[in-house]
Copies of this chain bind each other. A is one copy, B any other.
Amino acid sequence: MIKELTVDLGARSYPIYIGEGILENIDSYFEKHGISKRSALLIVTDEHVAKKHLEPVIRKLERAGFKTASHIVASGEKSKSLAVLEEVITSCLKAGLDRNSSVIALGGGVVGDLAGFAAASYMRGIRFIQIPTTILAHDSSVGGKVAVNHPLAKNIIGAFHQPEMVLYDTATLRTLPDRDVRAGLSEMIKHGLIWDAEFTSWCEDNAEKLIGLDPEALQYGLYKGCSVKAAVVSQDERENDLRAILNLGHTIGHALEAVAGYNELLHGEAISIGMVGAAKLSVRLGNPEHIYTTTKRIFKKFGLPVAVPAHMDTDEIMKAMMYDKKFKEGKMVFIVPTDIGKVEINKNVSAEWVRDIVDQLKQED
């Protein structure tokens, strides 16, 4: 049984299909959504995903009469660059993509962000289809944020470009390394923490099943995670206000990623530490202690890190935060939990307090 969810964005609304084996019927989803068989499609993927999942997708589509070409990038964050974007556009041109064509992202958040920006900018915007193959991508494939990195800043060059549809086949997740599984679940837990206390306890209760990739638990968790993200994005597509709550744990998290050189910590690991930090800040601001203890307990249950690695320099972490987009005209904006399942956007957090928290996060265990 496939679960279906609609991201409600007026003329740009689109469906997310989640379930086991969806890609076995990829051609019928494409047909149902009027994807052109006369205009070429470009599948963008990375080396790891290509090895496991590209061939059956091409075979299905070609047999059904779709014209496909593919472009394989190196795995990892470094493929989110303007140089790689130019190579993807070269493939669009060589495959003859026209204004009725679609770009398909088959992969995790890296491929989704890169291929999405290619679709947003090729001929000033053509269709885009997301086929997420990581758990983290339940986050990145909803909301239409696409981007590449600049050597000085992550995700700074991009667009808002909503996909035509998202095809989430939980079967693809079975080839994902365990560390990426856990890191992806960190964003799922985040969606509970910002919006839904009940879903948060469900996550805690089902930690083993989720880590073990139980199909039913996975489908439910991804469905709920996507639903929260979709609800937030529907109310604030362009991040004028509400959408900022999705950044829970990200102010500290991004800084940790930057200082760690994008190697030592995966994104999901960095924000798990960041969310524990946000919970500590919350308690310092006068909210009940259990916010912190619960948050920490959950992440530990998922085997996710809760402490800033001791060797990292607090000054450097604070400097990295200064480059982050979450500053608006000098003031620091911080997403602070006020309970489990609830957060507020606090625009008056002093950098000094955050510094203290970062220091304390080195002592967590």
Give A residues with C-beta under 8 Å from B: 36, 38-39, 82-83, 85-86, 89-90, 93-94, 98-100, 120-125, 145, 147, 150-153, 156-160, 323, 325, 327-330
Contact = CB atoms under 8 A, between A and B. Distances in A.
A159 B121 contact: yes
Contacts of A36: 329
A151 to B, nearest CB: 8
A99 B325 contact: yes
B328 A98 contact: yes
Given A89-B150, A93-B150, A152-B93, A157 B121 contact: yes
Given A85-B82, A150-B93, A156 B327 contact: no
A201 B145 CA distance: 49
Contact of A89 (B90, B100, B157, B330): B157
| Main secondary structure on A side of the interface with B | mixed
Given A82-B85, A122-B157, A90 B328 contact: no
Contacts of A123: 156, 158, 325
Which 8 pairs show the lowest CB-CB distances between chains A and B? A82-B82, A124-B158, A121-B157, A93-B152, A38-B329, A82-B86, A89-B150, A124-B159
A90 B125 contact: no
15 contacts: A36-B329, A82-B82, A82-B85, A82-B86, A86-B157, A89-B150, A90-B151, A90-B152, A94-B152, A98-B329, A99-B325, A100-B328, A120-B159, A124-B159, A124-B160
Contacts of A82: 82-83, 85-86
A116 to B, nearest CB: 11
B150 A86 contact: yes
A243 to B, nearest CB: 12
Contacts of A153: 93
Nearest to A323: B93
Given A82-B83, A90-B151, A124-B160, 7 more contacts: A39-B329, A86-B150, A89-B157, A93-B156, A121-B157, A121-B158, A124-B145
A90 B150 contact: yes
A82 B82 CA distance: 7
A36 B159 CA distance: 22
Contacts of A147: 124
A160 B38 contact: no
A98 B159 contact: no
Contacts of A125: 159-160
A233 to B, nearest CB: 13
Contacts of A86: 82, 150, 157
A274 B122 CA distance: 25
